[in-house]
Amino acid sequence: MSDTAISSALVQSLKGERGHLPIHKALPDISWELAGKTLERQPHTIYELLSHMNYWQAFLLRVAQDEKPQLPSHVMESWPSEKNAVSETVWKELIDSFLKGVDQAIDIAKGDQLHQPLAIRPEETRIHTLRNIASHNSYHLGQIVFIRRLFSEWPPPSGGYPA
Protein backbone atom coordinates (compact mmCIF):
# COMPACT_ATOMS: atom_id res chain seq x y z
CA MET A 1 0.00 0.00 0.00
CA SER A 2 1.39 3.40 -0.95
CA ASP A 3 2.02 6.16 1.57
CA THR A 4 -0.71 8.18 -0.13
CA ALA A 5 -3.21 5.35 0.29
CA ILE A 6 -2.23 4.87 3.95
CA SER A 7 -2.56 8.60 4.60
CA SER A 8 -5.93 8.73 2.86
CA ALA A 9 -7.24 5.72 4.81
CA LEU A 10 -6.12 7.25 8.11
CA VAL A 11 -7.72 10.60 7.28
CA GLN A 12 -11.00 8.88 6.37
CA SER A 13 -10.94 6.88 9.61
CA LEU A 14 -10.19 9.95 11.72
CA LYS A 15 -12.88 12.06 10.03
CA GLY A 16 -15.46 9.31 10.13
CA GLU A 17 -16.07 8.87 6.42
CA ARG A 18 -17.54 5.98 4.50
CA GLY A 19 -19.13 3.57 6.99
CA HIS A 20 -18.85 5.98 9.90
CA LEU A 21 -20.59 9.18 10.78
CA PRO A 22 -18.43 12.28 10.30
CA ILE A 23 -17.29 13.02 13.84
CA HIS A 24 -17.64 16.78 13.34
CA LYS A 25 -21.40 16.22 12.82
CA ALA A 26 -22.06 13.99 15.81
CA LEU A 27 -21.01 16.25 18.66
CA PRO A 28 -21.50 20.03 18.25
CA ASP A 29 -25.28 20.00 18.65
CA ILE A 30 -25.26 17.98 21.89
CA SER A 31 -26.65 20.17 24.64
CA TRP A 32 -25.05 20.44 28.04
CA GLU A 33 -28.22 18.95 29.55
CA LEU A 34 -28.08 15.90 27.26
CA ALA A 35 -24.35 15.47 27.93
CA GLY A 36 -25.04 14.71 31.58
CA LYS A 37 -28.24 12.65 31.28
CA THR A 38 -28.25 9.16 32.74
CA LEU A 39 -30.46 6.11 32.57
CA GLU A 40 -30.56 3.18 34.93
CA ARG A 41 -27.74 0.75 34.10
CA GLN A 42 -26.18 3.18 31.61
CA PRO A 43 -22.51 3.09 32.62
CA HIS A 44 -21.47 6.50 31.27
CA THR A 45 -22.88 9.84 30.24
CA ILE A 46 -21.98 11.49 26.96
CA TYR A 47 -19.86 13.94 28.92
CA GLU A 48 -17.90 11.11 30.54
CA LEU A 49 -17.35 9.41 27.20
CA LEU A 50 -16.16 12.56 25.45
CA SER A 51 -13.89 13.47 28.37
CA HIS A 52 -12.34 10.00 28.20
CA MET A 53 -11.96 10.23 24.43
CA ASN A 54 -10.34 13.66 24.73
CA TYR A 55 -7.92 12.40 27.40
CA TRP A 56 -6.60 9.53 25.27
CA GLN A 57 -6.64 11.48 22.02
CA ALA A 58 -4.51 14.21 23.62
CA PHE A 59 -2.20 11.57 25.10
CA LEU A 60 -1.78 9.79 21.76
CA LEU A 61 -1.26 13.05 19.87
CA ARG A 62 1.67 13.75 22.20
CA VAL A 63 3.02 10.26 21.41
CA ALA A 64 2.61 10.96 17.67
CA GLN A 65 4.64 14.15 18.11
CA ASP A 66 7.50 12.16 19.65
CA GLU A 67 6.81 13.10 23.24
CA LYS A 68 6.88 10.57 26.05
CA PRO A 69 3.81 11.31 28.17
CA GLN A 70 3.43 9.46 31.45
CA LEU A 71 0.82 6.73 31.35
CA PRO A 72 -1.76 6.97 34.11
CA SER A 73 -1.23 4.48 36.92
CA HIS A 74 -4.76 3.17 36.32
CA VAL A 75 -7.15 3.55 33.37
CA MET A 76 -9.76 5.04 35.71
CA GLU A 77 -7.64 8.20 35.77
CA SER A 78 -8.71 8.79 32.17
CA TRP A 79 -12.36 9.07 33.20
CA PRO A 80 -13.84 12.17 34.85
CA SER A 81 -15.21 11.89 38.37
CA GLU A 82 -18.29 13.95 37.55
CA LYS A 83 -21.24 12.99 35.30
CA ASN A 84 -21.35 16.35 33.51
CA ALA A 85 -19.36 19.50 32.90
CA VAL A 86 -19.75 22.22 35.51
CA SER A 87 -21.26 24.56 32.90
CA GLU A 88 -22.42 24.77 29.33
CA THR A 89 -19.30 26.81 28.52
CA VAL A 90 -17.02 24.06 29.84
CA TRP A 91 -19.00 21.47 27.84
CA LYS A 92 -18.63 23.47 24.61
CA GLU A 93 -14.90 23.92 25.32
CA LEU A 94 -14.54 20.14 25.68
CA ILE A 95 -16.23 19.56 22.32
CA ASP A 96 -14.02 22.22 20.73
CA SER A 97 -10.86 20.76 22.26
CA PHE A 98 -11.74 17.28 21.08
CA LEU A 99 -12.55 18.38 17.51
CA LYS A 100 -9.33 20.40 17.33
CA GLY A 101 -7.51 17.22 18.35
CA VAL A 102 -9.21 15.33 15.54
CA ASP A 103 -8.04 18.03 13.11
CA GLN A 104 -4.52 17.81 14.53
CA ALA A 105 -4.52 14.02 14.03
CA ILE A 106 -5.69 14.54 10.43
CA ASP A 107 -2.84 17.00 9.84
CA ILE A 108 -0.35 14.42 11.14
CA ALA A 109 -1.93 11.76 8.89
CA LYS A 110 -1.38 14.04 5.89
CA GLY A 111 2.30 14.48 6.81
CA ASP A 112 5.29 12.77 5.31
CA GLN A 113 6.66 11.05 8.43
CA LEU A 114 4.05 8.38 8.99
CA HIS A 115 6.67 5.60 9.11
CA GLN A 116 8.90 7.34 11.65
CA PRO A 117 9.43 5.19 14.78
CA LEU A 118 8.00 6.68 17.96
CA ALA A 119 10.24 7.80 20.80
CA ILE A 120 8.04 6.11 23.41
CA ARG A 121 7.51 2.93 21.36
CA PRO A 122 10.28 2.48 18.75
CA GLU A 123 8.62 -0.67 17.36
CA GLU A 124 5.60 1.44 16.34
CA THR A 125 5.08 4.38 13.99
CA ARG A 126 2.70 7.31 13.70
CA ILE A 127 0.49 5.04 11.62
CA HIS A 128 -0.09 2.84 14.67
CA THR A 129 -0.88 5.80 16.89
CA LEU A 130 -3.28 7.44 14.43
CA ARG A 131 -5.05 4.13 13.85
CA ASN A 132 -5.41 3.79 17.61
CA ILE A 133 -6.93 7.29 17.86
CA ALA A 134 -9.36 6.53 15.03
CA SER A 135 -10.50 3.19 16.43
CA HIS A 136 -10.85 4.48 20.01
CA ASN A 137 -12.86 7.48 18.83
CA SER A 138 -15.04 5.32 16.60
CA TYR A 139 -15.76 2.88 19.42
CA HIS A 140 -16.86 5.56 21.86
CA LEU A 141 -18.65 7.63 19.21
CA GLY A 142 -20.85 4.60 18.65
CA GLN A 143 -21.70 4.65 22.34
CA ILE A 144 -22.53 8.36 22.14
CA VAL A 145 -24.84 7.77 19.17
CA PHE A 146 -26.53 4.93 21.06
CA ILE A 147 -27.12 7.17 24.10
CA ARG A 148 -28.51 9.87 21.83
CA ARG A 149 -30.93 7.32 20.39
CA LEU A 150 -32.04 6.28 23.88
CA PHE A 151 -32.98 9.90 24.56
CA SER A 152 -34.62 10.40 21.13
CA GLU A 153 -31.87 12.88 20.22
CA TRP A 154 -30.80 11.19 17.01
CA PRO A 155 -30.19 11.96 14.21
CA PRO A 156 -28.59 15.36 14.71
CA PRO A 157 -30.10 18.33 12.85
CA SER A 158 -27.31 18.03 10.27
CA GLY A 159 -28.36 14.46 9.46
CA GLY A 160 -27.24 11.10 10.74
CA TYR A 161 -25.09 9.90 7.89
CA PRO A 162 -22.44 11.42 5.65
CA ALA A 163 -22.64 14.87 4.32
- Rounded to 10 degrees, the C-alpha dihedral 40/95/27/102 comes to -120
18 or 11, which is more confident: 11
> What's the whole-number mean pLDDT along residues 26-51?
96
Residue among 100, 89, 87, 91 at smallest CA distance from 24: 100
Q: Would you say residue 133 has pLDDT above 50? A: yes
**How big is the CA angle at 133 (ends 83 and 72), to the nearest 5 degrees?**
60
Residue among 65, 70, 56, 41 at smallest CA distance from 126: 65
Which percentage of the chain shows pLDDT scores above 90? 81
What span, in angstroms and rounded, lies between the C-alpha atoms of 69 and 59? Answer: 7
- List CB contacts of 95: < 8 A, sequence separation 6 or more: 27, 28, 30, 50
Which percentage of the chain shows pLDDT scores above 70? 95
pLDDT band at 160 (very low <50, low <70, confident <90, very high): low
What span, in angstroms and rounded, lies between the C-alpha atoms of 105 and 96? Answer: 14
List, in order of start, the domains of the chain with CATH numbers. Answer: 3-150 (1.20.120.450)
Cα-Cα-Cα-Cα dihedral sign, residues 89, 92, 96, 98: positive
